[in-house]
Each structure stands twice: as structure tokens, then as C-alpha cells.
Amino acid sequence: MAMRNIHYSSIAIVVLIVSTAFMVPTRVSAIGVCYGRVGNNLPPPPEVVALFKSNQIDRMRIYEPYPDVLAALAGSNISLILGTLNQDVQRLALDVSAAQNWVKTNIVPHIGNVNFRYINVGNEIIPSDMAQFILPAMCNVQSALLANNINTIKVTTSVAMTVIGASYPPSAGDFTVAAKVIINPIVHFLAANEAPLLVNIYPYFAYKDNSKDISLDYALFKATGMIVQDGNFGYQNLFDAMLDSVNAAMEKVGGASVGVVVSESGWPSDGDFGAEVNNAGTYNQNLINHVAKGTPKKPEVAIETYLFAMFNENQKGPAELEKFFEPALSLCPSASSPSLIHRGFPVSELGLVKLTTSQVRVPVTPRFTTLRSPSSDCHLD
């Protein structure tokens, strides 16, 4: 996750304080949590998995195939987004045996024990010089899965909002020229396999860079009236507007049937303009309360969303902001987890995280078709 010098930048960081009040109904929640590990003071994976389970958080995203995390997840039934390292994408694209070895090493030994949901090939690589390798890498990984008779794990990639050129109004959403060249065949691949596109959406950055035009209430889901009217659709929050601009862009490249998973979202509590504890708590609680409602363009369709992230990562950088994305949703210092505090782990002063779960429901698993053999779009020219 790289810093971007544009409105819809995305960063990977964060903290989560989890207590027994962070209750996500097992196997029906649309909310997951990203588990980043760029820190030197984090609890061991078995304790992290136990934390997920004890709080009924049934979806996790990790950014590379850590053997100790995969081992800890065995038998947990936690649904997993597993990432490849960005630096591995070119090798996976150009060397079929590399993709076969990746699957053989990181997937095959854990089939039946780990609940793999998506394999995320590359994070926020589009647009860049490396972007041309994403689709061939996805195809090689999928071929390797099929060669091992694994046909239920969806292969996809994640993008930042930097891929969106036009975003206002949301119905005008379109990919940048540079991104569209890469995204177009990827979207066709995703549509053929009924896999979603993963998008990291951070209204915070749009607000920070445009605070004269974007109100804090609009960014925090607190606006009391429609702020943006786009034809028949009215928008009361920036998150929906950003997500529907992606949905509109997908339609323009033939991806109307492709779902969008919000693979990261959060708000920082320190380190820059607007990064405050109260704002972080407000944004994340309101996001959780909102995702079941869908967007104006796709109402009644719960938004699969991953809060970023599980712990403060004290080795993130270069921006200080990257250490302080906190999905701490309720200010209740007395409820901080004693076991984590006593062991010196990076638990925030925010304390208790509360999640109202009665509205946050989505089918256990989207309707997955059997993976198809990669098409000619998969090959580099």
C-alpha cells in the first residue's frame, strides 16, 4: 500500500482494539478485518486468530502467505483473502512453474484446513510499470489451482482509487486511460469466473485533500440530507459516492456483473489533518452500520468490507499517518483488553470496539462457479 499524491489515495496501516463487544455473527457478517504485520511488537498469530474467533470476526485479509498465520488459521473457518507479494507478481506472470510452486507451497498443504476465499494477486499495482504482469500472473495462479483440482478459490487483484479518473458525479465514474488498458481484460477475466474486484476505499484522503469542498460530516456518514444528487440517486456520504463511481467505471468496461469488494477502509486517528480519535471512531462505527444498506446504485446489496487493520504497525512509513489507522468504534477506555495491554502489544487508548451486527448480513459465500481455464487474454504480447 503506497502513499498517493491524489485525492483517493490508499494506505495500509492501522490499529484495532477488539473486545468481546466486537461481535460479528459467524458466517453472515459482511465485515472483515485486515491483519497487517509491519510491526515489531505484535502478538503471535495463534493469539490473533483466537482474538478473531472470540469476537466472531469471520473474515480476514493478509498481504502475503505467512506460514505461521496459515498454520494458526487451520480449523478456524475464518474466511481468508490471501495476497501475493507485489514483488512476486512479475515472476508469477512470466514463469508458470513459479505459479505452480506458489500454489503448491501456500495453498495445497492447507486445503481442507484453511478457508481460502480469494487470492489477491498484487495490491495497488495499477497503474505502474508492473501492472502489465497482473493478469498473466492471475491466470497462471488460476491454472495452478485447477491443476490441483482446486476450483472454489477466486483469483483477483486489488486496486486503489487512483485507478479512477472521473468520479463526479458518481455515474460519470471512469477508469483513467492508463488504468483502463490494464483493467479491461482483468474485468473480463473476473466476469468469466464470477470473481469480484477488490478496491481499497478511503474517504479520509479525499476529505484531507479537498476539505474546502468536502465536508467532514459527508466523509463521516453524518450528513443529514442529500449532498450530491446524481440523476435518480442521492448521496449522503462520500463512501457511497466513491464506491458507485467504481461501479459506474466497471460498467463502462463491460463489468456490470462483477462485484466490488471493499478490501480496505478506515480513518487515521493521528498524524495529519483530520486524523483524530473521535473521527476514527465515528467513521468506522458508521461504516459498519452502513454496509448492509448497499449504495444508491446497488441498494439492498450488502457491501463486503474489510476494516484496516488489526493492530498498529509501528514500522510503517514513511508518513507518520500510516501508523494510526484505527477502526476503534467506541470510546470506552475501561474496556481495553487487559491481556494485550499487559503483554505490551499496541493496543490503543480507544478501548472497546462496538459492532451492531443485526443489520450486517450477507450470504455466507457468493454464488461461485467453477473456475474456468484462462483465456487468450492472459498472455503477454
Q: Using the Cα atoms of residue 254, residue 226, residue 265 and residue 321 in order, give the sign of their dihedral.
A: positive
Cell 502489465: give the residue.
132
Using DSSP's 3-state secondary structure scheme, residue 21 falls into: coil
> In degrees, to the nearest 5, what angle opens at C-alpha 155 toward C-alphas 151 and 157?
175
CA-to-CA separations, 357 to 57, 149, 327, in angstroms, rounded = 11, 36, 16
Write the burial class of residue 47 (CB in 10 Å: 0-12 exposed, 13-18 middle, 19+ buried). Answer: middle
CA–CA separation, 44 vs 210, rounded Å? 40
- Which residue type is seen at 179? A
Using DSSP's 3-state secondary structure scheme, residue 7 falls into: coil
Using DSSP's 3-state secondary structure scheme, residue 279 falls into: helix
- Nearest C-alpha neighbor of 278 from the set 170, 286, 342, 171: 286
> In degrees, to the nearest 5, what angle opens at C-alpha 110 toward C-alphas 132 and 143?
35
- Which residue type is seen at 169? P
- Which residue type is seen at 379? H
Query: Is 37 within 8 Å of 312 (Cβ atoms)?
Result: no
Grid cell for residue 203: 474517504
CA-to-CA separations, 190 to 161, 291, 316, in angstroms, rounded = 18, 23, 32
CA–CA separation, 217 vs 207, rounded Å? 10
CA-to-CA separations, 18 to 33, 185, 206, 331, 367, in angstroms, rounded = 11, 40, 27, 12, 31
List the catalytic residues.
124, 264
- Nearest C-alpha neighbor of 355 from the set 17, 7, 23: 23
